[in-house]
Amino acid sequence: MNTISPNTQAILLLTAPLILGKGSPSFDLLTTKEYNQLARYLWQIERQPSDLLSTNAEELIKECSSIISHERLTNLLTRGFLLSQVIEHWQSHSIWVISRADKAYPKLLKQKLKDQSPPILYGCGNLDLLNSGGLAVIGSRKIDNSIYDYSNNIGKLAARFGTKVISGGAKGVDQAAMYGALHEEGYVCEVMAENLERAVLDADRRKYLMSGNLILVSAYDPKAGFNVGHAMQRNKLIYALSDASLVVASDFNKGGTWAGAVEQLDKLKFVPVYVRLDNESKGLRELYNKGAILWPNPQDTNSFRQIFDTTNLPTNNNLNLSLFDQEDIINEFKVSDIAHQNITNAIDEFKKPHTPSATNTMEIEVQKPADELFEFAANLILSLLNTPLKDSEIAQVLNISLAQTKLWLGRLVEEKRIEKKNKPVTYVRKKL
């Protein structure tokens, strides 16, 4: 049974409706933007959300009143009894809850959505499935038998090649692909915008939840009903949790499938967007014109893996996977000559083509864009840490947010590539 951490309990009190039944009272909850402002402030003063629930929290609440009013914070944080009732209800339905403060929170969401990632995630099933990426299969609800069979076969194909399917779970394309994968003992992440609690009790899903092949996840209260805004936000999560996406069917210029794909192609550009070849579908044709890639119908392991290889995409794709432009970095960073040269050397080293070792040419692991970005940033950070620096100094040199700097520094400490010193807190490159 999922144990809800103190930080997550605090975040639930601040941001979640805590719906117990019909007629549950409404509260002036913090929006994601407001919560981010509060969380950022707590981080800056080296506190965390759970401190708002401590015995001496009143002083901290007053200190935070410049961000969120004292009255509003107090009203939200005094819902402890309601929270205990709701948690008991969730746990009786095998529903877990995690927050951005928890280690189990999917890294893919933090990497792609950054501070727009949902503060809270609810779900049921194998949490390990949240971080494994996969193929998002997306499409219309109203489809004919041929498109249903096509979508179902895509799910089977993904299962055969050991790739998880990410689905919105709606009738039509989503469920066809989802059950195609599950019937082949594959893995599925169903991202929901409504009625999570009802889905947990659904007999068709239940057996796959029990077997560990299915995970249900939602950014919204398990009892929340349909909401257009939630459905649109859910689309972002589907793309963000995947490594590549396939749009099987779409109307033109209307509907959630179209809107989500266009947002991905024109703005977000998280992952490659493929479309099924269908000259009669204006929706798919226009998505192709916007930069989507024709689905290559892979039939073997190697061709299927190439779908996820962002280093070798067809030229039609407009996916923005470039890291940084060297001139922009040098122009924007106001650093000393030594730091300037260290950064230049790190960029030059990163740009060099790497030839695989002759002793290890059997299989080359495809590195994900997020991992490439981290390695690039890590090289820059390591080049600066020949002498101890504070996180704020590193953020200033690299011209990035303090929050992002702390995330990268934390990962480098975990990987034992740098050391964290105390009094004052600084970071330095680990000596070999």
pLDDT per position as a tens digit, 145-156: 999 999 999 999
Residue pointed to by tokens 């995947």: 242
**Could you tell me which residue, 379 or 75, shows the higher pLDDT?**
75
Query: What is the arithmetic mean of pLDDT over 13-32?
Result: 91
Strands 214-218 and 188-192: parallel
> Quick one: DSSP state of residue 368?
P
In percent, the amount of the chain with pLDDT more than 90 equals 65
Query: Residue 349: its pLDDT value, please?
Result: 52
- The two structure tokens encoding residue 234: 């859910």
Query: What is the arithmetic mean of pLDDT over 288-294?
Result: 95
Query: Residue 364: its pLDDT value, please?
Result: 33
Residue pointed to by tokens 């799910």: 155
Per-residue pLDDT reduced to its tens digit, 68-93 = 999 999 999 999 999 999 999 999 99
Per-residue pLDDT reduced to its tens digit, 221-250 = 999 999 989 999 999 999 999 999 999 999
Distance (Å, rounded) from C-alpha 299 to C-alpha 344?
A: 43
Query: Residue 3: its pLDDT value, please?
Result: 87
CA torsion through residues 318, 320, 323, 324, sign = positive
Burial of 166 (0-12, 13-18, 19+ CB in 10 A): buried
**Could you tell me which residue, 364 or 337, shows the higher pLDDT?**
337
If pLDDT is split at 50, 70 and 90, which confidence band does 373 have? confident
Per-residue pLDDT reduced to its tens digit, 385-409 = 988 888 888 887 787 777 678 888 9
Order of strands, sheet of 273-275, starting from the edge strand that comes earlier in the sequence = 96-99, 120-125, 214-218, 188-192, 165-167, 135-138, 244-247, 273-275, 293-294
If pLDDT is split at 50, 70 and 90, which confidence band does 17 have? very high
**Could you tell me which residue, 317 or 147, shows the higher pLDDT?**
147
Residue 424 and residue 382 in contact, taking contact as beta carbons nearer than 8 Å: no
Query: What is the arithmetic mean of pLDDT over 366-384?
Result: 77
Distances (CA, A) of 348 to 331, 345, 376, 417: 16, 5, 11, 21
Query: Residue 359: its pLDDT value, please?
Result: 40
Q: Which of 101-105, 219-223, 226-230, 374-378 has the highest mean pLDDT?
A: 219-223
If pLDDT is split at 50, 70 and 90, which confidence band does 272 have? very high
Answering whether pTM is above 0.85, one says no
Q: Which residues contact 305 (CB under 8 A, 6 or more apart)?
A: 161, 366
If pLDDT is split at 50, 70 and 90, which confidence band does 320 have? very low
- Of 12-26, 145-159, 223-237, 297-311, the poorest mean pLDDT is in 297-311
Per-residue pLDDT reduced to its tens digit, 108-165 = 999 999 999 999 999 999 998 998 899 999 999 999 999 999 999 999 999 999 999 9
- The two structure tokens encoding residue 92: 């009786």
Cis, peptide link before residue 424, omega less than 30° from 0: yes
215 DSSP β-pair partners = 125, 189
Burial of 309 (0-12, 13-18, 19+ CB in 10 A): middle
Query: Residue 383: its pLDDT value, please?
Result: 86
Query: Residue 131: its pLDDT value, please?
Result: 86
Cα separation of the two ends of the chain: 42
Residue pointed to by tokens 């506190």: 47
192 DSSP β-pair partners = 218
Helix axes 402-414, 32-44, angle to 10 degrees: 60
Query: Residue 346: its pLDDT value, please?
Result: 53
